[in-house]
Amino acid sequence: MSELLEFLGTAEQAAERAVEVIRSGLGRERSISGKGDRDFATDLDFAVEDAVRAFLAEATPGVPLLGEERGRTGDTDSPYEWVLDPIDGTINFAHRSPQFGVSLALTRNGMPVVGVVHAPMAEERYSAALGHGAALNKQSLSAVAPEALAGAVVAMGDFAVGPDADRRNLRRLATLQRLVPKIQRIRMLGSAALDLCWLAAGRHDAVMHDRINLWDVAAGTVICREAGVLVTDFDGVDYGDGAVSILAATPRVHRALLAELA
């Protein structure tokens, strides 16, 4: 068994632990911590991250971890790093929407090589390791592309909040104005991890986020690539650590969208 498959098994176990914590907390009153303009984390975000950190510290003690809520810890000399979003789609979760999930990836020298996204309310677990394919609940995934951009369903991130939001949202509206007449539909799930997984599963045809964090999309990036999806930033550079935008689609649709962005 390759090393990456061993890491994938560990990631799947860690995600199961995270889902156990989420399910044990469902239905209870949530405490909320502010994180900036109209952004927050719940107590369950922290509880899930702490549980996954404890599990991985025992299972892979030499591998550092970057988590959305607690930051980066561990041996930074390792070529590997775990990247965790304990609840991707916190706003959805807090509003009792089922569109959220645990996102856990492993990067090697900054590039995602293992990914697991577990959506507990849908009972769906997406998983992939570089060179070993992608799966949904152990069934192989292969993305399907429309014949032309006019048939594409495109998922986009939420409108911006925080500093510079007005300028970024004007740019977003201009992009929408160009795209809407040329594509089939726009979707906004409120979870970047699920956006990418749904693309790999054929529920979307493209994903565009103009500002994104590594923990939101690292796992989904591996899942998409192993399902045959091209994943870059808005400049067409392969997505990896340091990228701030993401554009994912099968090659034909990706080329058309990249041209629209240019």
Q: Taking residues 171-200, what's their average pLDDT?
A: 94
At residue 36 the predicted structure's pLDDT band, cuts being 50, 70 and 90, is low
CA distance 165 to 240: 24
Domain count, the chain: 2
What percent of the chain is predicted at pLDDT more than 90? 75
- Residue 161 vs residue 173, higher pLDDT: 173
Here the CATH number for the domain that contains residue 75 is 3.30.540.10
CA nearest to 55, candidates 43, 37, 67, 39: 67
pLDDT above 90 for 26: no
Considering the domain architecture, whether residues 136 and 194 belong to the same structural domain is answered as no
How high is the pLDDT of residue 106?
98
pLDDT in tens, 42-93: 888 999 999 999 999 999 999 999 999 898 998 778 999 999 999 999 989 9
Q: Can you tell me which residue has the tokens 């991250």? A: 49
Considering the domain architecture, whether residues 157 and 75 belong to the same structural domain is answered as no
CA distance 249 to 138: 22
pTM recorded for the entire structure: 0.93
Considering the domain architecture, whether residues 132 and 63 belong to the same structural domain is answered as yes
Strands 32-36 and 153-156, by their bridges, are unpaired
pLDDT above 70 for 32: no
How high is the pLDDT of residue 42?
83
Considering the domain architecture, whether residues 78 and 176 belong to the same structural domain is answered as no
Considering the domain architecture, whether residues 71 and 39 belong to the same structural domain is answered as yes
Q: Which range marks the domain in which residue 29 is found? A: 3-140
> Of 106, 140, 174, which residue constitutes the final position of a domain?
140
pLDDT above 60 for 37: no
Instruction: Work out the mean pLDDT of the chain and round it to a whole number.
Output: 92
Count Cβ neighbours within 10 Å for each residue of 9-48 and write b for 16 or more, e otherwise. Answer: bbbbebbebbbebbeeeeeeeeeeeeeeeeeebbebbbbb
**Structure tokens of 103?**
């996102």
Considering the domain architecture, whether residues 108 and 65 belong to the same structural domain is answered as yes
At residue 235 the predicted structure's pLDDT band, cuts being 50, 70 and 90, is very high
**Structure tokens of 153?**
């369903």
Residue 71 neighbours by CB under 8 Å, 6+ apart? none
pLDDT in tens, 176-189: 999 999 999 999 99
pLDDT above 80 for 35: no
Considering the domain architecture, whether residues 92 and 216 belong to the same structural domain is answered as no
Considering the domain architecture, whether residues 7 and 134 belong to the same structural domain is answered as yes
> Of 140, 171, 205, which residue constitutes the final position of a domain?
140
Considering the domain architecture, whether residues 129 and 155 belong to the same structural domain is answered as no
How high is the pLDDT of residue 221?
98
> Of 82, 109, 140, which residue constitutes the final position of a domain?
140
pLDDT above 80 for 155: yes
How high is the pLDDT of residue 170?
93
